[in-house]
Amino acid sequence: MKFVSVNELQNRAAQIIEDLSKEDVIVTRSGHPTAALIHLGEEDVESFLMAHHPTLMQELDDSYSGYQASGGISHSEMKTKLQQTRNAG
């Protein structure tokens, strides 16, 4: 893991980003960690976005709780609801 200052990142951004395939980078401001840069391949983007989405886990938990409480709906009911949503938009 490499540490770089904000100033160094501003001056050498292209090279630092290029080097992310080799090691992650911690960005510091006044000697204190302020951000992390990690390498993301195309195969990693979806997982990263899902893991870092601010409300996704709560939405999934709420959805699952609703499913458990109501027993869910059938596949055909879901298709009908989706079609109605698409037609309304």
pLDDT tens profile 28-78: 999 999 999 999 999 999 888 888 888 888 888 888 888 888 887 888 888
| DSSP H helices in the chain | 6-19, 42-52, 56-70, 75-88
Provide the β-strand partners of residue 36: 26
Residue 23 sits in a domain whose CATH number is 3.40.1620.10
Distance (Å, whole) CA 57 – CA 36: 22
pLDDT at residue 37, as a whole number? 97
pLDDT at residue 89, as a whole number? 67
Average pLDDT over residues 14-18: 96
71 located within any domain: no
pTM of the model: 0.59
43 located within any domain: yes
Number of structural domains the chain divides into: 1
